[in-house]
Structure 1
Amino acid sequence: MSSTGATTVEARSLLWTPSDSVKDVNRRKVIRAAMADPGITQVSLAKRLLLSQGTVSAVVSELQQEGIFRVQSEEGERGKRVRLGAVRGVAVGVEVNHDRIAVAARRVDTSAVEYESVAFRADQGSSSWVRESANLIKELTVQTGLDIDHIVSIGVGIPAAVDPRTALVTQVAASLDWDITGSVPERFRDHFRDVPIIVDNEANYAAYGEHLYGAGRGAGTMLFVKASVGLGAGFIIGGLIYRGRHGYGGEIGHLTMDPDGIPCRCGNRGCLETLVGGARLLEQVRQAYAGYRADLPTSVEGMIERAKRGDAVCRRVLQDAARTIGLALARVCNLMNPELIVLGGELGRAPELLLEPMMDGLRLYALRGMVESKDPVKIVGSDLGLAAGARGALGFALMTDRTVEA
């Protein structure tokens, strides 16, 4: 029983009961969307799910009568906001990076998110990333007040291309020595036997997180740029992740900027990442200070902090990198014409330093109408910061209706 006396409903029973009837499919869609975005309006539900207002209204009314939904009217009919009633369940999102694992967990009936990240080293073992992720998931689930038997979905973002048709890894970053290939869901079965594991590229999930919860809310077309050790991107079109046929969509870091440039870890030459990746930026700072200073930054985060404190070299290197990224973004914009660009990752921590030079590069090389029109493309900093990937994985997995296989 809940504190209000209403009978508590298990989220698993709402989402995992198999039925292919149109009514039940629509019912699960509406429940999932309300779980993913607490307080969403009925109008937004219909728009996001591509259902008629009448269908959504009927489903919401039925669920309200059952005590599964609470409906709050704030601005008349269009302002009706939908929240979960006495429903018990936990949604989880995981982001695996080259050197860090982050997990977000949230009860489906609240908007409060438990979040934690831990440092991770490739030499810890080829499968330790699964074990580390599972341990964090269990710890944060307990912090929500529930346990792993209440987990309804887990989204896992990994630094690899994932085939959208098979959910199998198609290509792993060449710099990774640890094993992330094959079926990621199977790797989690020993820890979470019946829970759906929804896998995608971590930049795609970060893009989805900003679209659902952050700076990209309401944008029809949005490009998220994750600039850290490497560069990745995620594209959102009409609320959906654009992945391409084999999952390689968004690999902005491997745009060729100089055909005669230095070799990239992908095997090509002159990729954007060779010019503005974290290792290259740190190398430029070391070269500038060679023979003058020994206390040099060892991470992009440290470099950004020095730039904010007035270090002229760090500031110059970062702003030059931002202009180069702006050139790459101009090429993407000339092809895709997004409404909004969101800068995230480590460089997203310094929007006050980087957004203007990035926009300078975009203005120089994008088609004039995109940057000088009445409604030009905009570049903004991330709202969710380094939590974007885990938050997006949580939301996307909740929205994905998949039959659970025992």
Structure 2
Amino acid sequence: MTSSSTTHDARELLWKPSDSLRDANRRKIIRAVMVEPNTQVNIARFTGLSQATVSGLVNELVGENVLRVDSGGDNERGKKLRVGAVRGVAVGIEVNHNGLTVAARRVDTSSVEYETANFGAEQGDNAWVRESARLIRDLATKTGLDAEHVVSIGLGIPAAIDPRTGMVTQVASSLDWDLSGNPRHRFSDHFPHVPVIVDNEANLAAYGEYVYGAGRSVESMYFIKASTSIGSGLITNGAIYRGRHGLAGEIGHVTMDPQGTVCRCGNRGCLDTIVGGNRLVEQVRQAYTGYRVDLPTSLEGMIERAKRGDQVCTRILQDASRDIGLALARVANLLNPDIMVLGGELGRAADLLVGPATNEMQLFSLRGMYDHAAPTKLVGSELGLLAGAQGALAFALRVDSTVAV
């Protein structure tokens, strides 16, 4: 048996090649606890393993000090398991049009370090990769370890990713990216051998909210990310639904007005053209033309003004929320999720927006979703603008690196 004083290397625990089913099951359990401390019952549900298998392997892992048991709980299976003496850093990255966020967490703690940079996707993929790598090194040091201990990197980008190949099938229409190759290979010079798990940034924000935020303990959750553009992600029974080509959930390109403004995707009247961040800021500036010079230049500034009582900003945001509510009513009629979560920049104004959007949802979706004790509901994000990076971190930990590399 391993000595209780031994500190394990997370890379060794998760990366060591093995064809053994037992080793694969051990990794599943370790990964589940690294994502979030939990009980044996929930770990069995999360991993798909039997209670007996989980119980036997947990006893081994606790004996080796890879896992430890909390003192609370009525019985052994009801006590939470946490990571024991294991050294490693998990990383998550969210890339947006106008910035990126990197999160890093030691696998044996719940404390997450974050850094953001106003350095977005429009500056080219090589540039944001270099900036991401720099922030990863800085944050790894802040955790008390260093870049040599990075065990996984989750990467959310404004693009559709084919779930079968990991290749980009389509980037946001405003970006001029090289679509050749797999995005994870762009990190190989900076972090050789570290598995990089790539997905759409709204999907990973949805996953973060599902694991750590407003979507905890539900079977299905629909997340709408409303910022510069409008994206979304659907989680069902712990899995991200992506569709055949990774394009599921593109609510920003649902047609709201067939005769409306031409969208950058080439269609007309998309939700993006009505409630995208730039469009909302433009409406405020138009309303104040000739009357004020201190006009907002960003969605963040517009939200701050609304919270201070600016009637124009408040009205435009609430009008936008009604358009979002109409779009969500269509989603609700198709998917009937347990909960819908408003995130992204507009999620910061949830106190102003959720009410009008909910009214619109209830007006245009089926009554059966609301006429009982557990209605479908719309709530604001709990993780805010950190949902994407935190979801990327968790999702990359979940994926077996012996398969992903």
Q: State the TM-score bracket (shorter-chain normalisation).
A: over 0.9
* 1:171 matched to 2:154: no
Which residue does the alignment assign to 2:357?
A: 358
Code of the residue aligned with 1:29 in structure 2: it is K
Deviations 1:330-351 (A, max 9, x none): 0001000000011110001011
Of stretches 151-160 and 372-381 in structure 1, the one that deviates more from structure 2 is: 372-381
Structure 2 residues without counterparts, runs of 5 or longer: none
* 1:33 matched to 2:24: no
Residue 127 (structure 1) shift: 1.3
Which residue does the alignment assign to 2:158?
A: 159
Code of the residue aligned with 1:62 in structure 2: it is E
Residues of 2 paired with 1:40 and 1:308: CA distance?
Answer: 38
Code of the residue aligned with 2:402 in structure 1: it is T
Residue 55 (structure 1) shift: 1.1
* 1:46 matched to 2:15: no
Residue 136 (structure 1) shift: 0.5
Q: Assess if the C-alpha contact under 8 Å between 2:124 and 2:176 holds in 1.
A: no
Of stretches 275-284 and 155-164 in structure 1, the one that deviates more from structure 2 is: 275-284
Residue 59 (structure 1) shift: 1.0
Q: SS at 1:104's partner residue?
A: strand
Residues of 1 paired with 2:97 and 2:122: CA distance?
Answer: 11
Residue 218 (structure 1) shift: 0.6
Deviations 1:217-270 (A, max 9, x none): 111000011000000000000010000010001101000111111100111111
Residue 5 (structure 1) shift: 7.0
Which residue does the alignment assign to 1:264?
A: 263
- Superposed, which structure 2 residues align to 1:114-129 within 5 Å? 114-121=113-120, 124-129=123-128
Code of the residue aligned with 2:139 in structure 1: it is L
Q: Assess if the C-alpha contact under 8 Å between 1:207 and 1:224 holds in 2.
A: yes
Q: Assess if the C-alpha contact under 8 Å between 1:207 and 1:389 holds in 2.
A: yes
TM-score (norm 2): 0.96
Code of the residue aligned with 1:373 in structure 2: it is H
Which residue does the alignment assign to 1:372?
A: 371
Deviations 1:117-142 (A, max 9, x none): 01015564551011001001111011
Q: Assess if the C-alpha contact under 8 Å between 2:98 and 2:122 holds in 1.
A: no
- Report % sequence identity: 64
Which residue does the alignment assign to 1:16?
A: 15
Residue 179 (structure 1) shift: 4.3
Structure 1 pair 248–51 and aligned structure 2 pair: CA distance change class (3 A): same
Residue 21 (structure 1) shift: 2.1
Which residue does the alignment assign to 1:61?
A: 59
Structure 1 pair 121–150 and aligned structure 2 pair: CA distance change class (3 A): closer
* 1:82 matched to 2:85: no
Which residue does the alignment assign to 2:97?
A: 98
Deviations 1:140-164 (A, max 9, x none): 0111111111111000000000000
Code of the residue aligned with 1:174 in structure 2: it is S
Q: SS at 1:40's partner residue?
A: coil
Which residue does the alignment assign to 1:290?
A: 289
TM-score (norm 1): 0.96
Q: Assess if the C-alpha contact under 8 Å between 1:242 and 1:249 holds in 2.
A: yes
Code of the residue aligned with 1:36 in structure 2: it is V
Code of the residue aligned with 2:237 in structure 1: it is G
Code of the residue aligned with 1:199 in structure 2: it is V
Code of the residue aligned with 2:253 in structure 1: it is H
* 1:184 matched to 2:183: yes
Which residue does the alignment assign to 1:343?
A: 342
Which residue does the alignment assign to 1:326?
A: 325
Residue 41 (structure 1) shift: 1.2
Deviations 1:14-48 (A, max 9, x none): 101111322111110000011111x2111110111
Which residue does the alignment assign to 1:71?
A: 69
Structure 1 pair 377–114 and aligned structure 2 pair: CA distance change class (3 A): same
Q: SS at 1:93's partner residue?
A: strand
Residues of 2 paired with 1:27 and 1:126: CA distance?
Answer: 36
The Cα RMSD (Å) is 1.5
Structure 1 pair 74–374 and aligned structure 2 pair: CA distance change class (3 A): same
Q: Assess if the C-alpha contact under 8 Å between 1:172 and 1:181 holds in 2.
A: no
Residue 9 (structure 1) shift: 0.7
Residues of 1 paired with 2:72 and 2:4: CA distance?
Answer: 25
Aligned length: 402
Residues of 2 paired with 1:103 and 1:309: CA distance?
Answer: 30
Residues of 1 paired with 2:302 and 2:97: CA distance?
Answer: 19
Residues of 2 paired with 1:211 and 1:405: CA distance?
Answer: 23
Structure 1 residues without counterparts, runs of 5 or longer: none
Residues of 2 paired with 1:188 and 1:368: CA distance?
Answer: 49
Residue 185 (structure 1) shift: 1.2
Residue 320 (structure 1) shift: 0.6
Residue 284 (structure 1) shift: 1.1
Q: Assess if the C-alpha contact under 8 Å between 2:227 and 2:345 holds in 1.
A: yes
Residue 372 (structure 1) shift: 2.5
